Structure formats: C-alpha cells, structure tokens
Chains A and B, each alone.
Chain A
Amino acid sequence: MLTRITYALRETWASFKRNVTLSAASIVTAAVALLLAGSTLLIQKAFSNLLIQWQGGVEMIVFMKAGTSPEQIASVKQEIVDAGVAAPDGISTLDQQQTYDQAKVVLAGQTTLLNALSPTSMYSEIRVTPAKGQQDRLPDLKTQIEIEPNVSKVGLATDAILVYRRLSSFVRGVTIVLSSVLLMVAVLLIWNTIRTAMFARRREIEVMKLVGATNWFIRIPFMLEGLLQGLIGSVVSCIGLVAANSLWTNNLNGIAHDTKSSETISLLALRVDSGYLQGIMVIVVIIGMAAGAIGAGVAASRFLDV
C-alpha cells in the first residue's frame, strides 16, 4: 500500500514538473474560470440582497405600521384585490417577524443598525405583483391606499429597481455563460496536459500494462495531476475572490460613510457577508478539484485502451 502511495505521488510530481508550461496554462484558465464563476455568485448575492423586497416581480409594497392587526392587514389586501390590479395570489403579506428576519439578512454584520431594530418595531408588509397590463394603475392605487389608517407608506418599484432587476439577470446570464465556457476550456487544457503527459510516458505505460498494473494504478497519478491543477487554480481564484470582495466592501463602506443618507441601508445591502463568501470558496475549490480529477481521469481512460 505504501509503495503504491509513494509511487503515485512521485509520478504525479515528476509529470507535473515535466509539463510546467502546459500545467500553468491549465491552472491560469481554471483560476480565471472559477474566479468568474465565484464573482457571479457574489454579484448575484449582492443584487439579491438589494432586491430582496422586490423579488418575484413585486412592484408595490404597502408598509403597515407596527402593531397593525392581521384583520386590518387583510382588509387592505382585500381593497387591492377589489381594485383589480392584482390577483389574490399576486399579493403576499409579511408579518413583523418576517420583515425583521429579512432586515437581518440585508444588514448582516451591521450590528449597531441591527441592534436598533426588534420584531415589534418593524413594519408589516403587503407585497403586490400586479397582474399583466395593470402596472400603469399602481400610482392611482398608491394614492388610494396611502390614506387608509395603519398604512405608514406605500413604495413603488422605482425605475432604478426595475433596471437593477433586469441588469442583474443580464449580468448573471453573461457571467454564467462566460464562466462555463472558460471552465470547459480549462478542462480541455487539463485533458491536453494529461494526453501530453501520457504520450511522454507511453513506453512506461506499455510496460506497466504488460507486467499487470491495473488501469486504476496507471490512471491515478494522472488523476492526481489533474486534481492538483484544479486545486491550485481554485486556490488562486479564491485569493482573487477575497481581494475583490474586500475592495468592494471597503468601497461601499466608504460611500456609506460619506453620504450618511437614507440610501445608506440599501447601499450596504450590496455587501456580501464573509460566511457567504466562504461558502462560495468551498464550492469553487470542490468544482476545481472535481473538474481537474474527472477531466484527467476521463482523458487517461480514453488513451489507456487495454
């Protein structure tokens, strides 16, 4: 067993050194692909923090004062349904606990702001997704609802939010496509590295097969090589992700500090907390190693016809 392990590690390292340039190309491509994939997740998270209230096509939010009873909320909801702007299943209500939980997500890490809040101090919300073609009637509905008792204010999705929403799905689409393409290129490069490595060792492989080495025994050093390339690539991309995220966070904190306006909260919502970032990095490393090892393993099997 020990002989096998030392054999596999020695061969992996020797082959890795022999193919430095090709390995470097695979690693850099893998790193860029994974960095893009990771950034996609970060950007998506930032946007979804910002748009959390406006998810699912919501275009109007009625904020009900703290302490409003469920019956009073239901009656406002009924009024919206009666106006014919939205179907009942296009209207959702969030009680104070739910809006508090959401604030915790948006303000993650912002302890002073969070400490000032409690479930009893929160608004309840009625979120309205208008029926098709009814968007234009929202401003009128807003003036009608605003004067109801217990209604604190009524927010309409601003043009900015509508733009963010479309932008976010566009950016997501583009980065997903780009990072999948790059990841495919990385796997192809790893494939090619392995093929070259196997060609360099074809005589050795021929002898190994003749003296009865199992295919797994022959394949494993190559798979380890692919795994190593994927691992290094993903670690590099993780460093990039941490750097990008801290730049981003510092920037937002700086802007928030300078403006001190009511927009601060929504700006700070664009930050991504470090727990989420760590989750992304774990995913990135797993994808990198799996893609490297599987790509190399498939390549090795392909060129290892018994």
Chain B
Amino acid sequence: MIRLDNVTKQYTTEVTAVRDASFDIPKGEFVFLVGASGSGKSTLLRLLNRQERPERGSVFVAGQDLNAMADSKVPFLRRNIGNIFQDYKLLLNKTVFENVAFTLEVIGRPNHVIKQQVPAVLELVQLHGKEDRFPHQLSGGEQQRVSIARAFVNRPLIMLADEPTGNLDPSTGEGIMRLLDRINKTGTTVVMATHDQRIVNMMRRRVIQLDRGVIIRDQVRGVYE
C-alpha cells in the first residue's frame, strides 16, 4: 500500500528532515511513527500525500509512483487518503454535519450520497445527535471525532494521523485510539505519528522510530522505547 525507497527530504541545505528512509507498509496495517519532536514524523506523513516531494528516492502509494504523478492527478490520490491532525483543522463556521459533508461536497458527490453517508459516519464516531453543533460547542475529543469522520466519510484506503491525541487527556486519547483501531479493522491502512509512549505501548503495533530524520528501528508489535 505504501513503500518508500531511500527517501531523503531536505528543506534547506542545513535541514534534512528525512534521510534515506525505506519501508514497506502492506494494506490494512497499523503503524506508529515515533520519535522526538523535530525527528521528521510530520514530514514523512506529508511525503505520503504529496504535500512534500523528496529530493531523492521514490514514494509509492496505492500502487502509484508519486514522483512521476502529474500535479493534476494529486487531488485524486488524496481522495484515497484521510488526514487527521493534532489541532483538528475543523472549519469553525460550519456545523458538525457541514464539516463532514464538506469532504464529499468538494469532490462533487451528489446530495443524496451526502445525506446518506454523513449520518452513517457520524454514527460510527458516536456523534449522532450533535450534527448541528459548531466546533466551539464540542469537547476536544468530540472535535477530533468530527475530524476523523471527515477523513473517513469517503472510505479512504489510508488514514494519516499526525499526533491525533496530542491535545487530549489520556482517557479521551484512548477513545480516539479505539476509534482508529475500528477504522483499521475495516481494512484501512493507518499511519500515525506520535510521541505518546503510553498509547504506543498499549496498542502493541508496528513501530517505526525516527531520530533526526533517520529510521533507527522498525519493529512489529513494538513498544515506544
């Protein structure tokens, strides 16, 4: 599903965010990217949906070589990739329903599809009954669920999560992890960047560890350290 071959990403001549990274993530796997702040986790995720392009090496996602992909094809790649973030990135002037519907709307899905899929995914993230609330009327955990619903409503092949529990208290964070686990069980490949030791140790999934842009560990059913 995802393959990196000797990928190097340099922002400037001084800053090499990812150095000679290679790994292979099969379909349906759940992978943690761990490492200290600034070790290159977010950059790695951004390489996977072509928000960044590598200076060296190749990135393959869903069978496609992202280096060779034309700019005009990138939106269609991204329709297969859901993204969630530490700060949720919800649209504050839209309701829960509208935030989730937005994904389908901007890729031109017809209204009847929106009316059917949005309630279904809100049910999945346990937000039914809160469709008409605005983000500021929700707790942090609920806001993150909205953002997961938005990322998942189009049934993507891949979910990229960048420190999704970073702003949440431990028990709320665990709820989010259970949700991501359920999504993973539907066959969606999940790649999650985190430096939350507790969660990594609790989940016991594959762990790829970065240190200043270099992969120093790649372990199945790993722990944080």
A residues neighboring B (CB under 8 Å)? 1-4, 7, 203-204, 206-215, 217-218, 306
Contacts and interface: CB of A to CB of B under 8 A. Distances in A.
A210 B110 contact: no
B83 A217 contact: no
Q: Secondary structure of the B side of the interface? A: helix
Contacts of A209: 75, 78
Contact of B108 (A4, A207, A210, A218): A4
A204 B91 contact: yes
A91 B49 CA distance: 74
Interface of B: 49, 71-72, 74-79, 83, 89, 91, 102-103, 105-111, 114, 150-151, 154
Interface residues of chain A: helix, strand, loop or mixed (majority): helix
25 contacts: A1-B108, A2-B111, A3-B105, A3-B110, A3-B111, A3-B114, A4-B108, A7-B106, A203-B91, A207-B89, A208-B102, A209-B75, A210-B78, A211-B79, A211-B103, A211-B151, A212-B75, A212-B76, A212-B77, A212-B78, A212-B79, A212-B106, A213-B107, A215-B75, A218-B106
A217 B108 contact: yes
Contacts, number: 56
A166 to B, nearest CB: 54
Contacts of A2: 110-111
Contacts of B76: 212
B110 A214 contact: no
Given A210-B78, A211-B151, 8 more contacts: A2-B111, A3-B111, A206-B89, A207-B91, A213-B75, A213-B106, A215-B72, A215-B75
B40 to A, nearest CB: 20
A210 B105 CA distance: 13
A195 B89 CA distance: 21
A208 B151 CA distance: 11
Contacts of A213: 75, 106-107
A11 to B, nearest CB: 10
B112 to A, nearest CB: 10
A219 B164 CA distance: 30
A306 B103 CA distance: 18
B77 to A, nearest CB: 7
A206 B83 CA distance: 12
Given A207-B102, A306-B71, A306-B74, A212 B107 contact: yes
A3 B107 CA distance: 10
B91 A211 contact: no
B91 A210 contact: no
